[in-house]
Chain A
Amino acid sequence: MPQKPLIYELCEVPTSKALEALVPAGLSLRNEADTDLTRSYFDSFDWRLFHAGLVLELVEGAAGRRLVLRELGRGAILGAQHVDGTPRFAWDLPGGALGSRIRGPLDVRALLPQATVREMLQRFALQDTEGKTRLRLEVQRPHEVSAALRMQVLPVRGYAAVAKRALRDLARWPGLSAAREDPLVTVLALAGRRPGDYTRKPGVSVNADERADAAGRAILLELWDIAERNEEGVCLDLDSEFLHDYRVSVRRSRSFLSQVKGVFPEQRLNRFKRELAWLQEITGPCRDMDVYLLAFDGFKAALPVDARDDLDPFRGFLQRRKAREHGALVRAMASARYAQLKRDWRSFLAAPVPERSSLPNAERPVGEVAARRIRRVHRRVLEEGRAIRSTSPPDDLHELRKTCKKLRYLMELFRSAFDAEAVGRLIKDLKRLQDNLGAYQDLHIQEVSLSGFMADMEAEDGLAPATRAAMERLVAIMRDRQGQVRAAFAERFKAFDSEQVRGHFAAVYPKRAARGPRR
């Protein structure tokens, strides 16, 4: 298949004479009926398909609804299929042309309509004497006046010569040019948006020499923006990741406030610290249920085949409880307390920094303040980790996990004030340790909670003996796995505590950090 672009922009609707000129001898041009249709672009909230180089369109017209997956930019069709409803998750599609391609990138995120255009579609088929289509052309005429007229070339596998010839001839058409950007980008731009306009990672850039209080406000403000952008998805429960991103943002903010001291007046912060803790608290139970529901297929797969269906009542229990907790969360987010917090927190963060501050770190360069804190938390990680023996209680690992998280957040939040690439490498080192601690903690919590859930299920609707047996089996499996994960800890920690990694930390976060003008 030729690698030329397949999407073109046109100045005017092509005449039938111009189209006829594209048809080689032995083939004929068939004009299929024009159709009025709606083309909606679907992606996850955080643009996972776009970032994977994919564009998913839902095309709705009199002939029904068809999902089309194509390559971003060039426009080659990767898969298409008719659908009855609108699939919300990748697993709503069979594992075929579309499903298998979007499943990886989309993961657990929901497909959401990002933009819609109404258009008149003219379809042409270049057919041989058998009536077999060897090439298709589509002229898309958007109803929106400012939108460009487009032609999409749709080669058919096994008939490359026809496509090659048509693409060659098209290149000579006056007023036709390869689309400069993907139609998705153009359509979004009409609405003042661009793909990839949400990312869960804060991207604010701070300068190492900047005043710590100013940099702090910018960082916290961005974290709050991320949280607020997820609110709607949280309340509508579009998918589990809205709440997850919301919580991560809140946790990062809390971590900042507790870790970076002497930058903001403590007495003003106290209320915000309390309120952010409250947010963490009201979102927790709902997230817990999401975590169990996401892990459910894995739970099932861990059981022997004949016991798997016995676990299904547990899913029902989780779903009911999730609905309950979500309802409580929505109510909390609609409360006056929450509205007040939003107003006050934003106005605190948006206020200009005072020219002079009596706080010890407020006017110091953020690079210095952050490096000192990161060094200290890093030291704490090492101390806590070194103290862990094979006989240490799970709580010790849990503490270490929390300290690692604090370190990770600090490194991420202040990344732009240091050598970002070197920080990235250190984060990878830290992540390997965190993965081990996280897996251990999750298994430990799940083992404990499962027993609690069994008691709750028993109390609510009664617990069938088969379901109880399956859940007990699961508890045993978790305990077993915990042992394996625990055994791997020493080695993971040793790698993180190596001279090399410690050396890298010292180099990236030196004791005399990049010094800005001290006032």
Chain B
Amino acid sequence: MKIVATYNIKGGVGKTAAAVNLAYRAAEEGYRTLLWDLDPQGAATFCFRIRPRVKGGAQALVGRERDLGDLVKGSDYDNLDLIPADFSYRDLDVAFHGANKPAKQLIRLLRPLDEAYDLLLLDSAPSISLVSENLFRAADALLVPVVPTTLSVRTFRQLQEHLQGGKNARCALIPFFSMVDRRRRLHRELVEALRREPAGWLATEIPFAAQVEVMAVHRAPLGAFAPRAAAALAFKALWNELRDRLSLAV
């Protein structure tokens, strides 16, 4: 099982849209896909019409009272399962802190699922915390949506520096441009400037599109209700690139 976390220190950059649509696309190609919504806001869970509730909450999970596999819910799509969010995930940090080997809790929790899925997408809350440290250790890749604005780029730099300094991070950093508005000069210029850096940017850009916001109205991934929309096609292309980067067997 390959583990990919959509992650950014900053919020509102398109993490959930990426997680939901990439998971949909991977499943559509036949990969056994699991999406774990770690964000207490539960936006990804909402998009799949699943109730954001985990019995016993974060504490039961960390306290080994519940097996992660028991929390899995089948989505309405082939090959795509989800572990819903729970509002108690806001305290996941605290729960991890109290456990033995706090930074390896996620690895421990995910181990039993290794054979059951080809791909696990973790949609995490924006922050840099013990949960993020867990992500860095558990994930094969951090998929980082970067909006081409000065502030967003600044947090990306912070992440790069943090990971370079970290001892235990084994994950690859895979950034891509998100919510790009080609009509804005700043967006165009920043994209162009950043692409010159050897940061491993994916070639696909996700455009700023109303369709992505409509996802929350339809409560479905783009591919399910607007497969020909520009954003849907962009996520499809993004998945193709990501799949090759992860070297998932085709």
Stretch at the interface among A125-133, A214-222, A405-413: A125-133
Name the contact of B248 in the complex, choosing from A66, A95, A132 (C-beta under 8 A): A95
Name the contact of B49 in the complex, choosing from A81, A96, A99, A132 (C-beta under 8 A): A132
How many interface contacts (CB-CB < 8 Å) are there between A and B?
Answer: 68
B180 interface hit (Cβ, 8 Å): no
B50 & A93 in contact (Cβ 8 Å cutoff): no
A519 interface hit (Cβ, 8 Å): no
Residue among B28, B49, B50, B51 with the highest chain A CB neighbour number at 10 A:
B49
A156 interface hit (Cβ, 8 Å): yes
Stretch at the interface among B70-78, B87-95, B104-112: B70-78
Known A-B contacts A81-B78, A82-B28, A132-B48; A95 and B118 likewise in contact (beta carbons under 8 Å): yes
Known A-B contacts A79-B79, A98-B30; A157 and B249 likewise in contact (beta carbons under 8 Å): no
Q: Beta-carbon contacts of A322-342 to B below 8 Å, as 1s and 0s?
A: 000000000000000000000
Tally of contact residues, B, Cβ under 8 A: 22
Kindly state the separation between the CA atoms of A156 and B82 in the bound complex, as whole angstroms: 12
A304 interface hit (Cβ, 8 Å): no
B213 interface hit (Cβ, 8 Å): no
A457 interface hit (Cβ, 8 Å): no
Q: Tell me whether chain B's interface is mostly helix, strand or loop, or mixed.
A: loop
B250 interface hit (Cβ, 8 Å): yes
Chain B 28-51 residues near chain A, CB threshold 8 A: 28-32, 48-51
For A159, list chain B residues within 8 Å (CB).
73-74
A97 & B31 in contact (Cβ 8 Å cutoff): yes
Known A-B contacts A130-B50, A157-B73, A159-B74; A96 and B118 likewise in contact (beta carbons under 8 Å): yes
Kindly state the separation between the CA atoms of A100 and B115 in the bound complex, as whole angstroms: 11
Extra A-B contacts (16), CB below 8 Å, given A132-B51, A159-B73: A82-B28, A93-B30, A94-B29, A94-B30, A94-B31, A94-B249, A96-B32, A96-B118, A97-B30, A97-B32, A98-B30, A132-B76, A133-B76, A156-B73, A156-B74, A157-B81
Going nearest first, the 6 A-B pairs with the smallest beta carbon separation are: A158-B73, A157-B74, A96-B30, A132-B49, A95-B249, A81-B30
Question: Taking beta carbons and an 8 Å cutoff, which residues of A are in contact with B?
Answer: 66, 79-82, 93-100, 128, 130-133, 156-159
Question: What are 15 A-B contacts with C-beta separation under 8 Å?
Answer: A80-B79, A93-B30, A94-B31, A95-B250, A96-B29, A96-B30, A96-B79, A97-B30, A97-B32, A99-B30, A100-B118, A128-B51, A130-B51, A130-B219, A156-B74
Question: Taking beta carbons and an 8 Å cutoff, which residues of B are in contact with A?
Answer: 28-32, 48-51, 71-74, 76, 78-79, 81, 118, 219, 248-250
